[in-house]
Amino acid sequence: MPDSTLDALVAAAEAAADVAGAVIRPHFRVGVGADLKSDRSPVTVADRTAERAMRAVLSERFPGHGILGEEFPDHNQGARLRWVLDPIDGTRAFLTGRPVFGTLVALLDGDTPLLGLIDQPVLGERWIGVAGRATVFRGPLGGKAGCRPCSALDTAELSCTTPEMFDATDAAGFGRLAGAVRRVSYGGDCYAYGLLALGQIDVIAESSLKLWDWAALLPIIEGAGGRMTDWRGGALRPGCDGRVLAVGDAALLEPALRLLESAGPP
Protein backbone atom coordinates (compact mmCIF):
# COMPACT_ATOMS: atom_id res chain seq x y z
CA MET A 1 0.00 0.00 0.00
CA PRO A 2 1.49 3.42 -0.92
CA ASP A 3 2.79 5.58 1.90
CA SER A 4 0.39 8.34 0.95
CA THR A 5 -2.56 5.99 1.41
CA LEU A 6 -1.23 4.76 4.75
CA ASP A 7 -0.76 8.35 5.87
CA ALA A 8 -4.40 9.13 4.99
CA LEU A 9 -5.55 6.09 6.96
CA VAL A 10 -3.48 7.12 9.98
CA ALA A 11 -4.92 10.64 9.75
CA ALA A 12 -8.43 9.17 9.78
CA ALA A 13 -7.62 7.01 12.81
CA GLU A 14 -6.27 10.06 14.63
CA ALA A 15 -9.34 12.11 13.73
CA ALA A 16 -11.56 9.34 15.11
CA ALA A 17 -9.54 9.24 18.33
CA ASP A 18 -9.69 13.04 18.61
CA VAL A 19 -13.47 13.13 18.39
CA ALA A 20 -13.77 10.23 20.84
CA GLY A 21 -11.58 12.06 23.33
CA ALA A 22 -13.70 15.19 23.02
CA VAL A 23 -16.75 13.10 23.93
CA ILE A 24 -15.11 11.12 26.74
CA ARG A 25 -13.27 13.79 28.74
CA PRO A 26 -16.36 15.66 30.01
CA HIS A 27 -17.70 12.39 31.46
CA PHE A 28 -14.52 11.52 33.40
CA ARG A 29 -14.79 11.68 37.22
CA VAL A 30 -18.26 13.21 37.21
CA GLY A 31 -20.14 10.18 38.54
CA VAL A 32 -21.45 8.91 35.21
CA GLY A 33 -23.68 5.85 35.55
CA ALA A 34 -23.36 2.53 33.75
CA ASP A 35 -25.64 -0.10 32.29
CA LEU A 36 -24.79 -3.79 32.32
CA LYS A 37 -24.56 -5.60 28.98
CA SER A 38 -25.53 -9.23 28.50
CA ASP A 39 -22.02 -10.36 29.52
CA ARG A 40 -22.30 -8.28 32.72
CA SER A 41 -19.67 -5.80 31.54
CA PRO A 42 -20.47 -2.10 32.07
CA VAL A 43 -21.22 0.41 29.33
CA THR A 44 -21.74 4.16 29.69
CA VAL A 45 -23.13 7.02 27.66
CA ALA A 46 -19.50 7.97 26.95
CA ASP A 47 -18.82 4.56 25.33
CA ARG A 48 -21.85 4.76 23.08
CA THR A 49 -21.57 8.42 22.12
CA ALA A 50 -17.85 8.16 21.43
CA GLU A 51 -18.32 5.15 19.15
CA ARG A 52 -21.06 6.92 17.20
CA ALA A 53 -18.75 9.90 16.70
CA MET A 54 -15.87 7.69 15.59
CA ARG A 55 -18.09 5.86 13.11
CA ALA A 56 -19.27 9.15 11.65
CA VAL A 57 -15.70 10.36 11.05
CA LEU A 58 -14.55 7.13 9.44
CA SER A 59 -17.67 6.65 7.32
CA GLU A 60 -17.33 10.16 5.93
CA ARG A 61 -13.66 9.68 4.97
CA PHE A 62 -13.89 6.08 3.75
CA PRO A 63 -17.52 5.21 2.96
CA GLY A 64 -16.58 1.87 1.39
CA HIS A 65 -14.80 0.55 4.47
CA GLY A 66 -16.37 -1.74 7.01
CA ILE A 67 -16.72 -0.78 10.67
CA LEU A 68 -16.89 -3.19 13.60
CA GLY A 69 -17.31 -1.72 17.06
CA GLU A 70 -17.93 -3.04 20.54
CA GLU A 71 -21.22 -1.22 21.06
CA PHE A 72 -23.03 -1.25 17.70
CA PRO A 73 -23.63 -3.66 14.77
CA ASP A 74 -21.23 -4.19 11.88
CA HIS A 75 -21.28 -1.82 8.92
CA ASN A 76 -20.23 -3.05 5.43
CA GLN A 77 -19.35 -6.42 6.93
CA GLY A 78 -17.93 -7.88 3.72
CA ALA A 79 -15.46 -5.05 3.05
CA ARG A 80 -11.77 -6.00 2.77
CA LEU A 81 -10.70 -2.97 4.84
CA ARG A 82 -12.51 -2.86 8.19
CA TRP A 83 -12.13 -0.45 11.08
CA VAL A 84 -12.32 -2.06 14.51
CA LEU A 85 -13.26 0.27 17.38
CA ASP A 86 -13.34 0.16 21.15
CA PRO A 87 -14.31 3.63 22.40
CA ILE A 88 -13.35 2.93 26.01
CA ASP A 89 -11.20 -0.13 26.60
CA GLY A 90 -11.22 -0.31 30.39
CA THR A 91 -14.68 0.98 31.25
CA ARG A 92 -14.24 -0.16 34.86
CA ALA A 93 -11.14 2.02 35.16
CA PHE A 94 -13.03 4.92 33.56
CA LEU A 95 -15.93 4.51 35.98
CA THR A 96 -13.62 4.53 39.00
CA GLY A 97 -11.68 7.60 37.90
CA ARG A 98 -8.42 5.88 36.94
CA PRO A 99 -6.78 7.24 33.76
CA VAL A 100 -5.58 3.85 32.55
CA PHE A 101 -8.32 3.19 30.01
CA GLY A 102 -7.94 3.96 26.33
CA THR A 103 -9.67 4.43 23.01
CA LEU A 104 -8.66 1.80 20.45
CA VAL A 105 -8.77 2.22 16.68
CA ALA A 106 -7.60 -0.57 14.36
CA LEU A 107 -7.80 -1.17 10.63
CA LEU A 108 -7.85 -4.73 9.30
CA ASP A 109 -6.79 -5.62 5.78
CA GLY A 110 -8.67 -8.89 5.47
CA ASP A 111 -7.77 -10.69 8.69
CA THR A 112 -4.51 -8.80 9.29
CA PRO A 113 -4.24 -5.69 11.47
CA LEU A 114 -2.73 -2.99 9.25
CA LEU A 115 -2.68 -0.16 11.77
CA GLY A 116 -3.51 0.41 15.40
CA LEU A 117 -3.91 3.37 17.71
CA ILE A 118 -4.19 3.66 21.49
CA ASP A 119 -5.33 7.03 22.81
CA GLN A 120 -5.47 7.98 26.48
CA PRO A 121 -7.66 11.08 26.27
CA VAL A 122 -7.16 12.30 29.84
CA LEU A 123 -3.37 12.06 29.95
CA GLY A 124 -2.94 13.14 26.34
CA GLU A 125 -0.91 10.07 25.36
CA ARG A 126 -1.14 8.33 22.00
CA TRP A 127 0.52 5.32 20.39
CA ILE A 128 0.32 4.68 16.64
CA GLY A 129 1.45 1.45 15.00
CA VAL A 130 1.48 0.70 11.26
CA ALA A 131 2.62 -2.59 9.74
CA GLY A 132 6.16 -2.16 8.46
CA ARG A 133 6.77 1.07 10.38
CA ALA A 134 8.21 1.90 13.79
CA THR A 135 5.65 2.69 16.48
CA VAL A 136 5.15 6.37 17.25
CA PHE A 137 4.39 7.65 20.76
CA ARG A 138 3.34 11.14 21.77
CA GLY A 139 2.62 12.35 25.30
CA PRO A 140 3.49 15.00 27.88
CA LEU A 141 4.68 12.62 30.59
CA GLY A 142 7.75 11.31 28.82
CA GLY A 143 8.61 7.95 27.35
CA LYS A 144 9.94 6.71 24.05
CA ALA A 145 8.50 4.01 21.83
CA GLY A 146 10.58 0.86 21.88
CA CYS A 147 10.46 -2.34 23.91
CA ARG A 148 13.38 -2.92 26.24
CA PRO A 149 15.80 -5.85 26.18
CA CYS A 150 14.83 -8.52 28.72
CA SER A 151 16.00 -12.00 27.80
CA ALA A 152 15.07 -13.92 30.97
CA LEU A 153 11.71 -14.36 32.67
CA ASP A 154 13.21 -14.03 36.13
CA THR A 155 14.00 -10.38 35.41
CA ALA A 156 10.69 -9.64 33.65
CA GLU A 157 7.72 -7.51 34.66
CA LEU A 158 4.45 -9.37 33.97
CA SER A 159 1.08 -7.63 33.71
CA CYS A 160 -2.54 -8.69 33.43
CA THR A 161 -5.72 -6.65 33.68
CA THR A 162 -7.33 -9.01 36.20
CA PRO A 163 -6.96 -12.68 37.19
CA GLU A 164 -10.76 -12.86 37.07
CA MET A 165 -10.57 -13.11 33.27
CA PHE A 166 -9.14 -16.65 33.52
CA ASP A 167 -11.06 -19.87 33.85
CA ALA A 168 -9.48 -22.57 36.02
CA THR A 169 -7.35 -24.01 33.23
CA ASP A 170 -6.08 -20.66 32.01
CA ALA A 171 -5.42 -19.59 35.60
CA ALA A 172 -3.10 -22.56 36.04
CA GLY A 173 -1.05 -21.54 33.01
CA PHE A 174 -0.92 -17.93 34.11
CA GLY A 175 0.10 -19.04 37.60
CA ARG A 176 3.09 -20.93 36.21
CA LEU A 177 4.14 -17.85 34.27
CA ALA A 178 3.60 -15.57 37.27
CA GLY A 179 5.80 -17.84 39.37
CA ALA A 180 8.67 -17.49 36.91
CA VAL A 181 8.86 -13.69 36.62
CA ARG A 182 10.33 -11.03 38.87
CA ARG A 183 7.06 -9.25 39.58
CA VAL A 184 3.36 -9.22 38.59
CA SER A 185 1.09 -6.17 38.37
CA TYR A 186 -2.63 -6.03 37.63
CA GLY A 187 -4.85 -3.46 35.92
CA GLY A 188 -4.36 -1.37 32.84
CA ASP A 189 -6.36 -2.94 30.00
CA CYS A 190 -4.93 -1.53 26.74
CA TYR A 191 -2.79 0.99 28.64
CA ALA A 192 -0.54 -1.83 29.85
CA TYR A 193 0.23 -2.76 26.24
CA GLY A 194 1.18 0.85 25.61
CA LEU A 195 3.57 0.64 28.54
CA LEU A 196 5.07 -2.55 27.12
CA ALA A 197 5.68 -0.63 23.89
CA LEU A 198 7.50 2.00 25.99
CA GLY A 199 9.75 -0.57 27.66
CA GLN A 200 8.09 -0.36 31.08
CA ILE A 201 6.56 -3.87 31.06
CA ASP A 202 8.02 -7.05 29.56
CA VAL A 203 5.19 -9.61 29.35
CA ILE A 204 1.39 -9.48 29.24
CA ALA A 205 -0.75 -12.63 29.27
CA GLU A 206 -4.53 -12.39 29.10
CA SER A 207 -7.56 -14.35 27.94
CA SER A 208 -11.17 -13.68 26.93
CA LEU A 209 -10.14 -10.78 24.68
CA LYS A 210 -12.40 -9.84 21.78
CA LEU A 211 -11.20 -8.61 18.38
CA TRP A 212 -11.73 -4.97 19.37
CA ASP A 213 -9.60 -5.55 22.50
CA TRP A 214 -6.44 -6.70 20.70
CA ALA A 215 -6.53 -5.68 17.00
CA ALA A 216 -5.14 -2.17 17.60
CA LEU A 217 -2.46 -3.45 19.95
CA LEU A 218 -0.67 -5.83 17.59
CA PRO A 219 0.83 -3.24 15.16
CA ILE A 220 1.86 -1.10 18.13
CA ILE A 221 3.65 -3.91 19.96
CA GLU A 222 5.33 -5.27 16.84
CA GLY A 223 6.29 -1.79 15.62
CA ALA A 224 8.02 -1.24 18.97
CA GLY A 225 10.06 -4.43 18.54
CA GLY A 226 7.87 -6.84 20.52
CA ARG A 227 5.84 -9.91 19.66
CA MET A 228 2.16 -10.69 20.15
CA THR A 229 0.64 -14.15 19.62
CA ASP A 230 -1.97 -16.49 20.98
CA TRP A 231 -1.04 -18.84 23.84
CA ARG A 232 0.28 -21.42 21.36
CA GLY A 233 2.49 -18.99 19.48
CA GLY A 234 0.09 -18.65 16.55
CA ALA A 235 -0.88 -15.49 14.73
CA LEU A 236 -3.79 -13.55 16.16
CA ARG A 237 -6.70 -13.45 13.72
CA PRO A 238 -10.44 -12.70 13.95
CA GLY A 239 -12.15 -15.65 15.58
CA CYS A 240 -9.16 -16.64 17.72
CA ASP A 241 -9.83 -17.96 21.21
CA GLY A 242 -9.03 -14.68 22.96
CA ARG A 243 -5.84 -15.86 24.68
CA VAL A 244 -3.17 -13.24 24.05
CA LEU A 245 0.53 -13.14 24.91
CA ALA A 246 2.65 -10.03 24.33
CA VAL A 247 6.39 -9.83 25.00
CA GLY A 248 8.77 -6.94 24.56
CA ASP A 249 11.81 -9.12 23.93
CA ALA A 250 11.35 -12.02 21.50
CA ALA A 251 13.62 -14.13 23.71
CA LEU A 252 10.78 -14.32 26.24
CA LEU A 253 8.24 -15.75 23.83
CA GLU A 254 9.18 -19.42 23.85
CA PRO A 255 9.74 -19.76 27.62
CA ALA A 256 6.47 -17.97 28.30
CA LEU A 257 4.61 -20.19 25.84
CA ARG A 258 6.04 -23.33 27.45
CA LEU A 259 4.57 -22.26 30.79
CA LEU A 260 1.19 -21.37 29.28
CA GLU A 261 0.86 -24.20 26.76
CA SER A 262 -1.15 -26.68 28.81
CA ALA A 263 -3.75 -23.96 29.41
CA GLY A 264 -4.91 -24.12 25.80
CA PRO A 265 -7.49 -26.52 24.31
CA PRO A 266 -6.22 -29.96 23.30
- The predicted-structure confidence for 190-200, as pLDDT tens digits, reads as follows 999 999 999 99
When comparing pLDDT for 39 and 113, which is higher? 113
Report the pLDDT averaged over residues 231-237: 97
Asked whether residue 44 is domain-assigned, the answer is yes
Residue 118 has pLDDT above 50, yes or no: yes
Report the pLDDT averaged over residues 107-123: 98
CA distance readout (Å), 60 to 16, 66, 72:
11, 12, 17
pLDDT of residue 264: 44
Residue 126: which CATH number?
3.30.540.10
pLDDT of residue 1: 81
**Considering only CA atoms, which of 24, 261, 9, 42 is closest in space to residue 128?**
9
pTM over 0.85: yes
How many structural domains comprise the chain? Answer: 2
Within this chain, do residues 16 and 127 fall inside the same structural domain, yes or no? yes
**Considering only CA atoms, which of 202, 158, 199, 197 is closest in space to residue 177?**
158
- Show Cβ contacts of residue 172 under 8 Å, excluding neighbours closer than 6 positions: 262, 263
Lowest pLDDT segment from 36-40, 167-171, 261-265: 261-265
Within this chain, do residues 172 and 216 fall inside the same structural domain, yes or no? yes
Residue 213: which CATH number?
3.40.190.80
Residue 81 has pLDDT above 50, yes or no: yes
How does strand 102-109 pair with strand 81-89? antiparallel
Asked whether residue 9 is domain-assigned, the answer is yes
Cα separation, 223 vs 131, whole angstroms? 7
**pLDDT tens, 145-168?**
999 999 999 999 999 999 999 999
**pLDDT tens, 49-60?**
999 999 999 999
pLDDT of residue 44: 94
Report the pLDDT averaged over residues 121-132: 98
When comparing pLDDT for 232 and 264, which is higher? 232
pLDDT of residue 238: 95
Cα separation, 94 vs 97, whole angstroms? 5
Q: Is 30 helix (H, G, I), strand (E, B) or coil?
A: coil
Within this chain, do residues 13 and 96 fall inside the same structural domain, yes or no? yes
Structural domain including 178 reads 153-263
Within this chain, do residues 56 and 9 fall inside the same structural domain, yes or no? yes
- 85: amino acid identity, one letter: L
Q: What confidence tier does 120 reach under pLDDT thresholds 50, 70, 90?
A: very high
Residue 266 has pLDDT above 60, yes or no: no
